[in-house]
């Protein structure tokens, strides 16, 4: 089991949980979840561009035309998540927002695994995976009552 990868992923999750809280504060100052999204995504783009030379990666715009049509969905989804977090986290609370977000992610990921979406290997939905998804829904219900 790759414990370092698991630990880093948990750390990323803990840090990621702060994003909608921060973006909702930016939303209050800027007056719009879309303005907060533009700010957040601009910082994301700037950081990614600055990481290019540090990581040795190179961005080749000439390859963009070879991407499949659905590759733009990642950016569109990202905007939805950032804007949705800026708008919904203050209404729901950060914990319920993330329980629902993670529940939706797990459901979407299970479907993607099951059908092999976007070229990933097929991993059928087993009864243990289905039970895990049901437990997440139960967890969301419990958090919403808290």
Asked if 35 and 81 sit in the same domain, the reply is yes
Overall domain count for the chain: 2
Is 86 in contact with 33 (CB distance < 8 Å)?
Answer: yes
Asked if 120 and 63 sit in the same domain, the reply is no
First vs last C-alpha separation in the chain: 34
pLDDT value at residue 1: 56
Is 97 in contact with 85 (CB distance < 8 Å)?
Answer: yes
Q: How confident is the model at residue 106 (pLDDT cuts 50, 70, 90)?
A: confident
pTM: 0.79
Range of the domain at 137: 93-146
Asked if 107 and 73 sit in the same domain, the reply is no
Looking at residues 83-106, what average pLDDT do you find?
A: 90
């Amino acid at each position: 089991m790759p414990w370092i990868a698991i630990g880093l992923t948990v750390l990323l999750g803990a840090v990621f949980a702060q994003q909608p809280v921060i973006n909702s504060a930016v939303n209050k100052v800027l007056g719009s979840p879309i303005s907060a999204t533009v700010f957040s995504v601009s910082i994301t783009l700037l950081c990614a561009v600055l990481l290019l030379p540090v990581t040795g990666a190179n961005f080749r715009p000439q390859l963009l035309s070879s991407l499949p049509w659905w590759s733009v969905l990642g950016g569109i989804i990202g905007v939805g998540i950032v804007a949705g977090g800026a708008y919904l986290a203050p209404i729901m609370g950060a914990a319920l927002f993330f329980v629902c977000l993670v529940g939706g992610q797990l459901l979407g990921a299970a479907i993607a695994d099951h059908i092999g979406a976007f070229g990933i290997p097929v991993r059928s939905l087993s009864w243990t995976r289905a039970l895990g998804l049901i437990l997440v829904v139960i967890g969301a219900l419990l958090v919403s009552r808290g």
